[in-house]
Amino acid sequence: MLKRWNFATYMRRNLLSLFKNPSFSVSYSGDASRGGFSNGTSLDTHGPESENEWEKLLKPFDLEDLRKSLNRITPNQLCKLLELPLDVPTSMEIFDWAGTQKGYIHSFHVYYALVDKLGAAEEFKVIDRLLLQMREEGIVFRESLFILIMKYYGRASLPGQATRVLVEMRDLFACEPTFRSYNVVLEILIDGNCPKIVPNLFYEMLHKGISPTVFTFAVVMKALCLVKEVDSACLLLREMTKHGCVPNSVVYQTLIHALCKVNRVQEALKLLEEMFLMGCTPDVNTFYDVIYGLCRLDRIHEAAKLIDRMLLRGFTPNSVIYGVLMHGLCIKGQVDEARALLSKVPDPNIVLFNTLINGYVTVGRFDEAKTVVHESMLPIGCVPDVFTYNILIRGLCKVGCLGSAHELVNEMAYKGCEPNVITYTILIDGFCKQGRLKEAGDIVEEISAKGLALNTVGYNCLISALCKDGKVHEALEIFGNMSSKGCKPDIFTFNSLIFGLCKADQMEEALGVYQDMLLEGVIANTVTFNTLIHAFLMRGEMQKAMKLVNEMLFQGCPIDIITYNGLIKALCKDGAVEKGLGLFEEMTRKGVSPNNVSCNILINGLCRTGRVQTALELLRDVIHRGLTPDVVTYNSLINGLCKVGRIREALSLLDKLQVEGIVPDTITYNTLISWHCKAGMLDDANLLLSRGVDNGIIPNAVTWTILDEKQLRRGLLFANAYGSLTVMETGAIPA
């Protein structure tokens, strides 16, 4: 009723203002059947059969009555009529009828009022016709009309049409655009997701001698930042003064946000300092951008100092800023510092508490996480929510307290916080990781009983655990139920199944799952291909493995270090060490950095084929590349040197290994003892065993086998009393 009354009041006010004009005298008839306009000079509202004033005003507008009632209408009166909430067809009829009056000419204001109404209705074709009509009638165009049209095109998400109007206002209608028109179109292009066009329009504006404003620069900088041309945007900042413009807060905030987004935080900090020097006041979001950027680069303490500066300058950090810094501290394991920061927050919320609790759980300090709940949260009336409980349940699962985790699920339901699918998924994952698949199955049944549906992550936990446990057929059954439950499998689902089938040596079925995955629209990743490739290599089927490598490249999936290492190992195993070295070189050319495993595979392959010198040269090369050889590397070289009769060099390598801080293992000593025994150097073998025992090496079954073969076991055991005692104390002597 209030809206209806306001509408009637608006109609009455506008019509009565017209009636007061002597040349626009209209009276209402008392005819209840028509309720329209009639000739006369009085307003008849008397008589029992007459409609009251409100009823008449709310009747549909009758153009014929208007025509009969008017002797003449002026442009000013027509403007007022067009401002009434009439529909477009009625407004056009009034406009056309008024134009037929003898000696009447539509004014600019009439056209403006009509265009305003047409733009609101998105009648753009009619607007184009009106513009041509205005030109024919010799109406002097004003920039405000074109700006109005441009804005309506912007609201209709038609940035291209707004740009066309900017071009045509000068070329077709002889109206020179100023910075106002350009600013409107530039902003429309940004809002219409056309930032690439903005710089071109800006430079066209400069070329035509139109001076930009601070707003112009701000919009253009925003566009450049959106298309990742941050350097160009920063250059414009220095160009502003040449055009008499002084940067404002919006300009600085735009650039700081863009720089932080691309991790150029140091430059953002300099701009923040400049902003203060220029007397521009940053808002909280500007500080957030810089603080978030610093935290993302692990510059946590700098971020904390910036918060202190905020407080000194009278700014109050919001909970989001505190949350970002706390999250950064927790990621670095500085959970106690995060807790100290939380104590400074004036009104901590549940999100901040959850961040801290999650930090404690992640670093394995579950008891302290629980303390935060009971000693910090609850006393201030902050009630744990489902996220809090999920974090705590994850913490209990992480430390292996699955029973307590399950009890906490029941407790949260008792306290009025309903567990969600994520809660149960965490619990399922915990049981699966401990191999307790029956309990995980019980949780699934519990979920179903509560009317909840297991999500993809939950299914993946079960499928992965079953595949690792060798129960791939059960995993396939669960996989078959996923679609019927409305749950779509993802790449992790398919990779788990492919792994399980490869582990069970069911390669045809694994390839079948791979094909099904592609049909489902799931794109294979490096893990998918590596699983299949390594399975074929283990079977010695190099051709099938290489076919998958080619398919991997064809699909745009990059070959990684794991792929290369698998192929190099297979080639070396087959004795094709030269091809392995070729792959090693190809890997480095393509920007894949070799690791210790790559080097160890090649060095072992070279040593096995007697190419020890090449292996030693490769060792020098990998050290030059920045890799640090490990005990596996040296074991291969020691074995290779001994194999070609260079036992003294092998012993020198043992000394070098210890100098470099690499601890020899049982394999190192077994290798040397074995070759010394083969060479008949029994005393040296005895010394090596004693040296190994002195260095904490425990002889194993292989050691005793080597000694048994040379009938040295008894003699060596008593050759060194200290060594013998050490061996016996460790319990390494077989019974």
- Beta partners for residue 27, in sequence order: 38
Among 462-466, 553-557, 730-734, the least confident range: 730-734
Question: Which pLDDT does position 696 carry in this prediction?
Answer: 84
Cross-strand partners of 627: none
Q: Can you tell me the distance from the alpha carbon of 365 to that of 356, in angstroms, rounded to the nearest whole number?
A: 11
With 80 as the cut, is the pLDDT of residue 47 above it?
A: no
Task: Give the number of other Cβ atoms within 10 Å of residue 20's Cβ.
Answer: 9
Q: Which residue has the higher pLDDT, 709 or 362?
A: 362
The predicted model gives 585-610 an average pLDDT of 90
User: What would the mean pLDDT of 316-322 be, rounded to a whole number?
Assistant: 89
Distance CA 439, CA 123 (A): 66
pLDDT of residue 43 exceeding 90, the answer is: no
**Is pLDDT larger for residue 43 or for residue 429?**
429
The residue that leads in pLDDT, 61 or 246, is: 246
pLDDT grade, residue 481 (50/70/90)? confident
CA atoms of 353 and 566, how far apart (whole Å): 46
Share of the chain above pLDDT 70, in %: 87
Long-range pairs of 268-272 with CB within 8 A, sequence gap ≥ 24: 268/293
Model confidence at 489: pLDDT above 50: yes
Rounded CA-CA distance 716/225 in Å is 76
Q: What is the pLDDT of residues 380-424, one digit of tens each?
A: 999 999 999 999 999 999 888 989 999 999 888 888 899 999 999
Please count the residues of the chain: 735
| pLDDT single digits (tens) 583-594 | 998 988 888 888
Contact 290, 268 (CB under 8 A): yes
Is residue 703 within 8 A of residue 670, CB to CB? The reply is yes
The H or E element spanning position 267 is helix 265-277
**What is the average pLDDT across 175-187?**
95
Please compute the mean of the pLDDT values over residues 497-511 and round it to a whole number: 94
pLDDT for res 451: 86
Q: Are 604 and 636 in contact (CB under 8 A)?
A: yes
Q: Is the model's pLDDT at 718 over the cut of 50?
A: no
Residue range 482-488: average pLDDT? Answer: 84
Closest of 416, 360, 418 to residue 392, by C-alpha? 360
Give me the residue label for tokens 């074709």. Answer: 125
- % of the chain exceeding 90 in pLDDT: 55
pLDDT at residue 38, as a whole number = 35
Q: For 227-281, what is each residue's pLDDT tens digit? A: 999 999 999 999 998 999 999 999 999 999 999 999 999 999 999 999 989 989 8
CA 337/CA 327 separation, integer angstroms: 11
Is a pLDDT exceeding 90 seen at residue 25? no
Evaluate if residue 734 carries a pLDDT over 60. Answer: no
Which residues touch 429 (CB under 8 Å, ≥6 apart)? 397, 457, 458, 461
Q: Read off the pLDDT of each residue in 449-459 and give the average, rounded to a whole number.
A: 89
Taking residues 164-169, what's their average pLDDT?
A: 94
So what's the pLDDT on residue 730? Answer: 41
Pairing of strands 27-28, 37-38: antiparallel
pLDDT-derived band at 657 (thresholds 50, 70, 90) equals: confident
d(CA 465, CA 551): 29
Q: What is the mean pLDDT of the chain?
A: 84
Secondary structure element (H or E) that encloses residue 28, with its range:
strand 27-28
The pLDDT-based confidence of 205 (bands split at 50, 70, 90) is very high
CA distance 610 to 240: 72
pLDDT at 728: 37
**What mean pLDDT comes out for the span 75-79?**
91
pTM greater than 0.85 (yes/no): no
* Residue at 646: amino acid letter: R
